[in-house]
Structure 1
Amino acid sequence: MPPGVDRSTAAELAALVGPPGESPGPRYATLARRIGELVALGQLAPGTRLPAERDLAAALAVSRVTVASAYRLLREEGRASTRHGAGTVLEAPPAEAVWTAPTADPGVLDLAHASPEAAPQLLPAYQQALARLPALAGGHGYAPGGLPELRAAIADRYTARGLPTDPEQVVVSAGTGDATATVVETLLQPGDRVLVEHPTYPGALGMVTAAGGRCVPVTVDPADPDAVVGAAHLAVRQSSPRLAFLMPDFSNPSGARLSAAGRRRLAATLWQQGVLTIVDEVTAELWLDGQGPLPPYAAGLPDAATVTVGGLSKAVWGGLRIGWLRTDAALAASLGAVLGRRQLSVGPLDQLAAATLVRDLDTVLAGRRTLLRERREVLAAEVAARLPHWHVPRPGGGLSSWCALPTGTSSAALVAAAAPLGLLLAEGRVFGTGTVFDDHLRLPFTLPPDRLRSAVTTLASVDAALRSGPVARHPARSVTVV
Structure 2
Amino acid sequence: MPPGIEQSTAAELAALVGPLDELPGPRYAGLARRVRELVALGRLPVGTRLPAERDLSAALAVSRVTVASAYRLLREEGHASTRHGAGTVVEAPSADPVWHAPTTDPAVLDLAHAAPEAAPQLLPAYEQALARMPAVLAGHGYAPSGLPELRAAVADRYTARGLPTDPEQVVVTAGTGDATALVVETLLQPGDRVLVEHPTYPGALGIVGAAGGRCVPVAVDAADPDAVVGAASIAVRQSSPRMAFLMPDFSNPSGARLSAAGRRRLAATLWQQGVLTVVDEVTAELWLDDDGPLPLYAAGLPDAATVTVGGLSKAVWGGLRIGWLRTDAALAASLGAALGRRQLSVGILDQLAAAVLVRDLDAVLAERRAMLRERREVLLAELAARLPHWTAPRPSGGLSAWCGLPPGPGSATLVAAAAPLGLVLAEGRAFGTGTAFDDHLRLPFTLPAGQLRSAVATLAAVDVALRTGPPARSPARPVTVV
TM interval, shorter chain, is 0.7 to 0.9
CA 1:146–1:96: 2 relative to 1, 3 Å: closer
Question: 1:155 aligns to what?
Answer: 155
Which digits, 9 at most, give the CA deviation of each residue in 1:193-224, with x for residues without a partner?
A: 00000000000000111111000000001100
For residues 309-354 of structure 1, the C-alpha deviation after alignment (integer angstroms, 9 at most, x for no partner) is 0000000000000000000000000000000111110011000000
Do 2:417 and 2:472's aligned partners in 1 also have CA atoms closer than 8 Å?
no
Aligned-partner Cα distance in 1 for 2:203–2:75: 19
Partner of 1:386: 386
Deviations 1:45-75 (A, max 9, x none): xx9936979xx9454668989999x979x88
Question: Equivalent residue for 1:367?
Answer: 367
Alpha-carbon spacing, 1:333–1:391, altered in 2? closer, same or farther (3 Å): same
| Residue 5 of structure 2 is aligned to residue 25 of structure 1 | yes
Q: Which residue of 1 is the match for residue 116 of structure 2?
A: 116
Answer yes or no: is the 8 Å Cα contact 2:419–2:477 preserved in 1: no
Shift of 1:96: 5.1
Relative to structure 1, the CA distance from residue 384 to residue 341 in structure 2 (aligned partners, 3 Å threshold; closer, same or farther) is same
Three-state SS of the structure 2 residue aligned to 1:133 is helix
* Equivalent position of 1:426 in the other structure: 426
Match of 2:445 in 1: 445
CA distance 1:341–1:472, change in 2 (3 Å): same
Q: Distance in 2 between matches of 1:460 and 1:388?
A: 10
Q: Give me the whole-angstrom Cα distance separating, in 2, the residues matched to 1:428 and 1:188.
A: 27
The one-letter amino acid paired with 2:103 is T
Per-residue displacement from partner, 1:407-433 (whole Å, max 9, x unpaired)? 113100000000000000000000000
Runs (4+) of structure 1 exceeding 2 A deviation are 21-29, 47-53, 56-68, 74-80, 93-97, 469-477
Residue in 1 that maps onto 2:247: 247
The amino acid of 1:194's aligned partner reads V
CA pair 76-322 structure 1, distance change in 2 beyond 3 A? farther
Partners of 1:279 and 1:297 within 8 A in 2:
yes
Q: Relative to structure 1, is the Cα distance of residues 265 and 363 closer, same or farther in structure 2, using a 3 angstrom cutoff? A: same
Output the CA distance in 2 between the equivalents of 1:324 and 1:235: 29
Aligned residues: 431
Distance in 2 between residues matched to 1:77 and 1:257, nearest whole Å: 36
**Identity, % of aligned positions:** 79
**Aligned partners of 2:76 and 2:246: how far apart in 1?**
20
Match of 1:234 in 2: 234
Inter-partner Cα distance in structure 1 for 2:395 and 2:198: 17
Out of 44, 49, 52, the position equivalent to 2:28 is 49
* Equivalent residue letter for 1:238: Q
Residue of structure 2 equivalent to 1:299: 299
Match for 2:465: what amino acid?
A: A
In the TM superposition, residue 371 of structure 1 has moved relative to its aligned partner by 0.2
5 Å-filtered alignment, 1:338-357, equals 338-357=338-357
Distance 2:449 2:419 in 1: 20
Q: Report the CA distance shift for 1:78/1:354 in structure 2 as closer, same or farther (over 3 A).
A: farther
Match of 2:322 in 1: 322
Within 1, Cα distance between the matches of 2:271 and 2:248? 15
- Taking structure 1 as reference, are residues 135 and 94 closer, same or farther at Cα in structure 2, changes over 3 Å only? closer
Given that 2:96 and 2:206 are in contact with CA atoms closer than 8 Å, whether structure 1 keeps it comes out as no
1:414 equivalent in structure 2: 414
Task: Give the C-alpha shift of residue 394 in structure 1.
Answer: 0.9
Secondary structure of the structure 1 residue equivalent to 2:212: coil
Is the Cα contact below 8 Å between 2:94 and 2:209 reproduced in 1?
A: no
Aligned partner of 1:207 in structure 2 is: 207
Output the CA distance in 2 between the equivalents of 1:459 and 1:108: 13
**2:257 is the alignment partner of 1:257:** yes
SS at match of 2:237: helix
Distance 1:152 1:71 in 2: 57
For the aligned residue pairs, the C-alpha RMSD in angstroms reads 2.9
Return the letter of the residue paired with 2:276: L
Q: Give the Å deviation of 1:388.
A: 1.6
Aligned pairs for 1:53-64 (under 5 A) are 57=51, 59=53
TM (norm. structure 2) is: 0.84
Partner in structure 2 of residue 188 of structure 1: 188
Hey, what does 1:34 align to over in structure 2?
A: none
Q: d(CA) in 2 for partners of 1:395 and 1:51?
A: 34
Q: Deviation of residue 470 (structure 1)?
A: 4.8
SS at match of 1:279: strand
Deviates more, 1:470-479 or 1:444-453: 470-479
**Partner-residue secondary structure (3-state), 1:49:** helix
Task: Give the deviation of 1:98 after TM superposition.
Answer: 1.1
For structure 1, the residue ranges without an aligned partner over 5 or more in a row are 1-20, 30-46, 81-92
1:158 shift after superposition:
0.2
Please state whether the residue corresponding to 2:103 is helix, strand or coil.
coil
Give the aligned partner of residue 177 of structure 2. 177
Question: Could you state the TM-score of these two structures normalised by the residue count of structure 1?
Answer: 0.84
Sort the Cα spacing of 1:95 and 1:281 in 2 relative to 1 into closer, same or farther, 3 A: closer
The structural deviation recorded for 1:22 is 3.6
Determine helix, strand or coil for the equivalent of 1:278.
strand
Give, in whole Å, the separation in 1 of the partners of 2:449 and 2:220.
30
- Contact residue 5 and residue 239 of structure 2 kept, 8 A: yes
Equivalent position amino acid for 1:293 in 2: P
Question: Are the aligned partners of 1:129 and 1:349 in contact in 2 as well (CA < 8 Å)?
Answer: yes
Residue correspondence of structure 1 range 68-79 to structure 2 within 5 A? none
- 2:45 corresponds in structure 1 to none
User: What letter is aligned with 1:49?
Assistant: Y
Equivalent residue number for residue 168 of structure 1: 168
* CA pair 441-77 structure 1, distance change in 2 beyond 3 A: farther
Q: Is the 8 A contact 1:229 1:265 kept in 2?
A: yes
- Contact 2:4/2:240 (<8 A) preserved: no
Q: CA deviation at 1:393?
A: 1.2
Change (3 A) 1:127 1:65: farther
* Alignment CA distance shift 1:437-1:474 (3 Å): farther
| Partner amino acid, structure 1, of 2:117 | E
1:272 corresponds to 2:272:
yes
Partner residue, 1:32: none
Decide which moves more: 59-68 or 413-422.
59-68
The residue type equivalent to 2:106 in the other structure is: P
Distance 1:65 1:225, change over 3 A: farther
Change (3 A) 1:52 1:350: closer
Letter in 2 for 1:25: I
Contact 1:97 1:479 survives alignment (8 Å): no
**Post-superposition offset of 1:403:** 0.2
Rounded Cα–Cα distance in structure 2 between residues aligned with 1:345 and 1:413: 43
Cα–Cα, structure 1 residues 385 and 58, in superposed 2: closer, same or farther, change >3 Å?
closer
